[in-house]
A and B are shown apart, each in its own frame.
Chain A
Amino acid sequence: MQMQPLPHILLILCSNIMLLPLVTAHHDTEKMIALFTQRIESGEASAELHYRRAIEYRILLQHPKAEADLRQALVYDENYTPAHRELAHLLAKRGEQKLAIKSARHAIRASGNLHERSGAMILLARLLAVAGQPEAALRHCLDAFELKPSGEVEWYLLHAELLDANSRPNERPEILAAGYSATHSIVLRNAWIDALLDAEKYKAALPVIHRELSSSRLKGSWRLRYARAQLGMGMTTDAGLSLALCLEELAKRIHPTRPDISLIAERGLAQALLGQIDAARSDLNRARAGGADSWMIATLERTLSDNAVKNGK
């Protein structure tokens, strides 16, 4: 076997030694924290090192330590954007919405490029929405699109949610259709169909629903959408059949003790549409307890609330 000339080997050896911290830098999380701590304590402290240790603390769910490190990172560099962004996430998680919003605003100001800036704007929009400021949230979401017109899948979803929160639900289909066209994401296509159903544009939704019903293996969510269209068009008996089939499939898919909450939300909606109000409420509560996002249970909540109004409750 022909070997490399000696100087070349020495060069590689030297570079390998230089790379040792990197080569060994794929240990477990606790060891990474120990490594960062050692470096911080030996006088290497910097915004980046504190930030990196904060990320490891966050992975271990040690949020107070993560927060302390993020704050320390900002002492070293008050414009260190990743630390502002991460701090905003942490603060929001423990319900400190105002402080989280402040951090997100810092992140926007400190952003070094358009990409970072648009991402920080979307973060701020989310935080404002949670804080009950949908108008401001929508404004910031649109600002982000100004900076990056192609957007991202999640941005279109957020935009649609914010339109709903600003009592402009009928504008959702157009935004989601544009997002689908720009990204090809099936999530946006499906959200577009849901938005069409919410806007009572059943005929526009039906071609896709029919196509998916004929080509999907598991049809529950499409049967549910079909039932919504059927009910909207006054086809109550057919809707009942669709919902029964949907529930039959969900019964096989929902784990008895540890279910996927998106399926629980679907079952709740199917039950609500069938008038099984107690069961639907129970699933709504279960989905909420499981951390379901607001979009996931919005239609179920609306259906139950409409039902309560109808029955004078």
Chain B
Amino acid sequence: MTIPSLLKTTCSTTLLALAMLQPLAAKQPTFSRSPYLQLATESSIRIVWRTERSITPVVRYGKDPATLTMLSKPEHIVTRTTDKGQSGGPPPLHSAPDGTRQFEATISGLEPAATYYYAIYDGEKRLTPEDATYRFKTHPVPGTERPLYFWVVGDSGTGGANQAKVHTAMRDYNKAQKSQLDLYIHVGDMAYGSGTDTQFSERFFRMYEPTLRNTVCWAAMGNHEGKTSKGKDGTGPFYDAYICPTTGEAGGLPSGKEAYYSFDFGNVHFIVLDSHDLDRRPGGAMARWLKADIEKTKAEWLIAYFHHPPYTKGSHDSDKESQLIEMREHIMPILEGGGVDIVFTGHSHIYERSMLIDGAYKTPTTASGVVLDDGDGDPEGDGPYLKSKGLVPHNGTIQVVAGHGGTNVSRKGTMPVMRRIIVENGSVLVSVEGNTLSAKMLNLNATVRDSFAIKKEGVIEHSPIKDPWQPQDKNKAKNPEPVKAPKKGNSLPAVSHRIIDHGAQWRYLAGGAHPPEKWTTLDFNHSSWQKGAAGFGYGDKDDRTELIGMRDKYRSVYIRSTFQVPPDADRAKIGIAMSYDDAFIAYINGKEILRVGVDSGSGKGAKGFHSHEADKKFEFFPLDKHAIEALQEGVNILAIEGHNVKPGSSDFTLHPALLLAK
């Protein structure tokens, strides 16, 4: 960049940032850090502020903004200064400007899930304006079901125009939706370049002041804060800014350190880790605490966040960098073994959001054998990701890299487990209500760029998808949502033996019912299913078993047939011949071996159907290595689920045979 262009960029960035900050900066000069909230529980909260001169600190609060009748107890307000010569009192501020006083007021004895209004006083003199946005809300009682709405931001702390726009976009969106945040989570890098006290004041507290006065920010430390703050002993500007639970006071187990902790909001359990400067190995104290904490919680939802992403190809590469690799290889097994639902991270300056995955711990990361649902998770698209009720180990996790909160965004490559890769600044808004977690990525223009949801209901058993959807390569990613072409079969070969003939009898389940789990296995008892000859369908006069009543009523049919492989058969020559309209998934002995025209999921949860006409023709799909491995000596079972693209379709055909080619 040339100096003139650099200056131009700097000028415009600064002017824009200033212009945007003006309305937010209309604050009282009394405060060097305006009041902000910390460490909310169901019965208490901390209010923190800074002044540059001595005051007699008082907090008045109450449920009616016009009459703040309650007073904080003087002994519950801690005053911290920059004087390092003191002994025995509260720890001095690490590197605040000389003369700074930081007041930390604990308000306790509050009602759960209640809104209170507050004002800061210097003795009798009110310092905060009469403004009902100075308020706080206590958390619900842990374990109770209450709606939760929170904001996720990462890598924001430039103090520049894009950071301000991301903040404003969130506020505008919430205003339009008439929504209020319950909490704010920051995944680190909130005060570039080194997380100094001044950078915190200017690039975090000043920037987000209207939000921080009424919303607790629960933070994870980023590498930039790590230049001046130390997770090991909890010292530095980061730990001066935040009051994190160390004794389990906000739910979860005591960690003994502010660097990693957990807290509850109703039936949602949050886990916050330090991925930057602490031991990330399974034997380290942080991982040992994590395992104990995760074993203890009885929440319905488990959300974890930290700075370094286990999966990314944004401005960082999780296949190459040690902290990212270690979080994936050492920490993710503990989180997924404990049933984590979603993981938020930053560090990589991009928005990346995964499919529903489990067990992707290897380096380099591939999508093979780790994707449980490759749909888009969008309630308006493929539908939400389905999980079992409660916290079930290895039932699927969504990874969200939200390192796009303000700094320059970029992309190095393509992380194969991702469903959405968006190189724009923005943030994430998440709501949890009952059995559904919904999230939206909002860009800096307040446009929703991604929506997904996780729904928990009953018992959902996932198995890895053999050939999951894949994101488009970085260099071809002009269209952010490429459509995978359905698999096509070959023309029919010369046949030496029909293992299951074209008109063979099958057991079938139709009428809109869906089979239970394990229906694809040999042991499954299908005696209650109807018998019929292939093919199955309606509408095109090519079906031996006519499915009368299928049209407009249901779209899926399940069939099963046993077979034996001839002893001398060359298994590589076996294949499924299929005439189909529109899509199907085939299983041998419980293993998925072929998927045609179905993008993701199976059975009731199958999604993304592609239209296909049978035209009384058969296509031949030779068994691949994976399918051949599924074959066993003696009796085998071939199970097939057939799907119509929509219930109102004019025809449906599912007509298989199992052939041995010459």
**A-chain residues with CB within 8 Å of residue B224 when the two chains form the complex:** 26
Complex Cα spacing A9 to B12, Å: 12
Instruction: For B10, give its contact among A13, A154, A188, A259 (CB under 8 Å).
Output: A13
Segment of B95-103, B108-116, B281-289 engaged in the interface with chain A: B281-289
Contact B285 A255 (CB under 8 A): no
Instruction: For A216, give its contact among B256, B296, B322, B393 (CB under 8 Å).
Output: B296
CB-CB nearest in chain A for B321: A59
A-B contacts at CB below 8 angstroms, number? 167
Contact A186 B255 (CB under 8 A): yes
Contact B337 A253 (CB under 8 A): yes
**A-chain residues with CB within 8 Å of residue B598 when the two chains form the complex:** none
Least CB distance from A26 to B in Å reads 5
**A-chain residues with CB within 8 Å of residue B193 when the two chains form the complex:** 19, 21-23, 25-26
Contact B19 A58 (CB under 8 A): no
CB-CB nearest in chain B for A19: B193
Complex Cα spacing A16 to B247, Å: 41
**B-chain residues with CB within 8 Å of residue A58 when the two chains form the complex:** 322
Say yes or no for A3: interface residue by CB 8 A criterion.
Answer: yes
Instruction: For A255, give its contact among B232, B294, B394 (CB under 8 Å).
Output: B394
Say yes or no for A271: interface residue by CB 8 A criterion.
Answer: no
Segment of A36-44, A67-75, A136-144, A260-268 engaged in the interface with chain B: A260-268
**B-chain residues with CB within 8 Å of residue A259 when the two chains form the complex:** 333, 337
Contact A185 B407 (CB under 8 A): no
Contact A217 B295 (CB under 8 A): yes
Contact A4 B18 (CB under 8 A): yes
Contact A29 B316 (CB under 8 A): yes
CB-CB nearest in chain A for B235: A115
CB-CB nearest in chain A for B257: A153
Instruction: For B288, give its contact among A17, A190, A219 (CB under 8 Å).
Output: A190
Say yes or no for A218: interface residue by CB 8 A criterion.
Answer: yes
Contact A25 B192 (CB under 8 A): yes
Segment of B357-365, B534-542, B553-561 engaged in the interface with chain A: B357-365
A28-B412 contact, Cβ under 8 Å, with A3-B19, A258-B333:
yes
**B-chain residues with CB within 8 Å of residue A17 when the two chains form the complex:** 7, 10
**B-chain residues with CB within 8 Å of residue A131 when the two chains form the complex:** none
**A-chain residues with CB within 8 Å of residue B294 when the two chains form the complex:** 218
Contact B393 A252 (CB under 8 A): yes
Least CB distance from A69 to B in Å reads 16
Contact A263 B337 (CB under 8 A): yes
Least CB distance from A41 to B in Å reads 20
Contact B282 A217 (CB under 8 A): no
Contact B295 A22 (CB under 8 A): no
Contact A186 B254 (CB under 8 A): yes
B270-295 vs A: 1/0 string, CB under 8 Å?
00000000010111110111011111
Contact B282 A216 (CB under 8 A): no
Interface of B is mostly: loop
A190-B292 contact, Cβ under 8 Å, with A153-B285, A183-B256, A260-B337:
yes
Contact B189 A26 (CB under 8 A): yes
Contact B15 A9 (CB under 8 A): yes
Complex Cα spacing A27 to B248, Å: 36
Contact B292 A262 (CB under 8 A): no
Complex Cα spacing A253 to B337, Å: 5
Complex Cα spacing A295 to B283, Å: 8
Contact B321 A29 (CB under 8 A): yes
A120-135 CB contacts (< 8 Å) to partner B:
none
Contact B283 A293 (CB under 8 A): yes
Complex Cα spacing A190 to B357, Å: 31
A217-B298 contact, Cβ under 8 Å, with A17-B7, A153-B256:
yes
**B-chain residues with CB within 8 Å of residue A3 when the two chains form the complex:** 18-19, 22
Say yes or no for B158: interface residue by CB 8 A criterion.
Answer: yes
B389-411 vs A: 1/0 string, CB under 8 Å?
00111100000000000010010
Say yes or no for A152: interface residue by CB 8 A criterion.
Answer: yes
Say yes or no for A207: interface residue by CB 8 A criterion.
Answer: no
Least CB distance from A16 to B in Å reads 5
CB-CB nearest in chain B for A260: B333
A262-B287 contact, Cβ under 8 Å, with A26-B407, A216-B295, A217-B295:
yes
Say yes or no for A221: interface residue by CB 8 A criterion.
Answer: yes
**B-chain residues with CB within 8 Å of residue A244 when the two chains form the complex:** none
> What are 21 sample pairs from A and B whose C-beta atoms fall under 8 A apart?
A9-B15, A16-B14, A17-B10, A22-B194, A23-B160, A25-B192, A25-B193, A26-B155, A28-B412, A59-B323, A61-B320, A61-B322, A119-B232, A184-B256, A185-B254, A218-B338, A219-B295, A255-B336, A255-B358, A291-B282, A296-B282
- Given A17-B10, A260-B333, A260-B334, 8 additional A-B pairs, CB 8 A: A1-B22, A3-B19, A20-B10, A21-B193, A26-B193, A152-B232, A217-B295, A257-B359
Which B residues fall within an 8 A CB radius of A? Answer: 6-7, 10-11, 13-15, 18-19, 22-23, 155, 158, 160, 189, 192-194, 224, 232-233, 246-248, 253-257, 279, 281-285, 287-289, 291-298, 315-317, 320-323, 325, 333-334, 336-338, 349, 358-359, 361-362, 369, 391-394, 407, 410, 412
Sorted nearest first, the 10 A-B pairs with minimum C-beta distance are A293-B283, A185-B256, A22-B193, A183-B256, A260-B333, A218-B295, A186-B253, A184-B254, A253-B337, A253-B393
Which A residues fall within an 8 A CB radius of B? Answer: 1-4, 9, 12-13, 16-17, 19-23, 25-29, 58-61, 115, 119, 152-154, 157, 183-188, 190, 212, 215-221, 252-255, 257-263, 290-293, 295-296
